Structures are given as structure tokens and as C-alpha cells.
Chains A and B, each alone.
Chain A
Amino acid sequence: DTAVSQTPKYLVTQMGNDKSIKCEQNLGHDTMYWYKQDSKKFLKIMFSYNNKELIINETVPNRFSPKSPDKAHLNLHINSLELGDSAVYFCASSQEYQPLSSYNEQFFGPGTRLTVL
């Protein structure tokens, strides 16, 4: 009964390749996120989608293209991979639209460790 799942868990690839990471949540949430965690453990938001619509894009290079086919999925496609893209990528989800509640817990997936050689 995994809440937020990501595939693959590990991804090793060559510079210049194109790769995708998939994320699915079964919590019925309406908002999903992608975060990047670098080698120093620094965690930074990349994108946020609400009901399949992009609402946050934190100056991420346009080589990164998120796609949300439905509100339970948010996939991340990366073109022309660079060495600096090596990191752990986390997907998260939350339920944003609830009456009487402005802030809702973000549930994180287990992460995808991307290594670019």
C-alpha cells in the first residue's frame, strides 16, 4: 500500500542521454511536486502541479520537462543529461484544496538516484 512510488530507484546513464522518472501517488491528492537533493543533502523544489496544471517552476532548465497525464501521476523527463544533473530526485504529493485547512503535509516518495557519467 505504497503512498508515493517512484521508478526507477536507481538510474545510471551517459551524458547527453534522455531519461524519464515516473511518479505515482495513490493518496487521492490533487498536487504533486518534484524536488532535487544534491550530494550535500540540500533539498530544493523544482516543479509543482495541481490537477495536471503546472503551478510552480523554480527556474529549472528547460531540459527538464514534467508531464502529468492525470492527477495521480507526475513524470519527469530530462533531455541532454549533464554531469550536474546527478542527484536524488524526490516526488511528493499533498492535498491542497481542503476547506478550513491552508497547509497540508507533503508525502515524499523513496527517491530516484540519478548518476550521469
Chain B
Amino acid sequence: GENVEQHPSTLSVQEGDSAVIKCTYSDSASNYFPWYKQELGKGPQLIIDIRSNVGEKKDQRIAVTLNKTAKHFSLHITETQPEDSAVYFCAASKRRNAGNMLTFGGGTRLMVKP
């Protein structure tokens, strides 16, 4: 089955700095890679996703890159703000019969210091 590794497990940055979270996956058939943000006491919320037919995607201060050959993908947050503090999860998925089974990384706790 799929295995997703995520690093680092915790990340502390100063407000305004950039944050980078990296993930690797094992199943070369995986072709959908979402990133979720989980705030304290809440469920995960999708912030950006990328499909295997593109190498990079950007949405305002958030960008994701994908290297299919190396089987790794990364989340980049620029100009971090205190409200970016949360746990971030990467995930990988491939289409199966009916349904989209996500395998999650172990999560990164991001702390943005004002």
C-alpha cells in the first residue's frame, strides 16, 4: 500500500518568513496530492492540491511543487502570519473503483511567532 512520510514534524518560524514542508510517497501510481490544514479542535481543511500532470501550483501565499520522478512534493508558505499556525497534513491518493482513498503523512505542527 501507499506510505507517505512528512518532514519536519514541527516547524517554528518568525512572522514574515517562509515555511517549507516536505513529503515523500511510495506508490508511483498515486496521482493526487492534497494538503490539509488542521486548526486546534477542528477537522482538516483542504488548502491546496496538485494532480500528477502538473509540477507546480500556486494560490496567493501558498504553493505546492511535485516531483514525480523522485516521488516527493512540498508545501511552501510565504510571508507567514500567526494565523498560519496549525498542523498541516500532506496526502497522496490514486483513483480506485469508486472513491478516493487518501493516505496521510504524519503532520507538521507549524508555529508562527509574532
Contact = CB atoms under 8 A, between A and B. Distances in A.
Interface of A: 4, 31, 40-45, 48, 50, 55-56, 58, 90, 92, 94, 96-97, 102-111
Please report whether the interface of chain B is mostly helix, strand, loop or mixed according to DSSP: strand
Contact of B44 (A40, A43, A103): A43
Question: Number of contact residues on B: which range applies?
Answer: 20 to 34
With most chain B CB atoms within 10 A of its CB, the pick from A55, A97, A106 is A106
Interface stretch (B19-27, B55-63, B68-76, B102-110): B102-110
Contacts, number: 68
A103 B99 CA distance: 9
Most B CB within 10 A of own CB, among A45, A55, A103: A103
Given A55-B98, A55-B99, A109 B106 contact: no
A108 B102 contact: no
Nearest to B38: A41
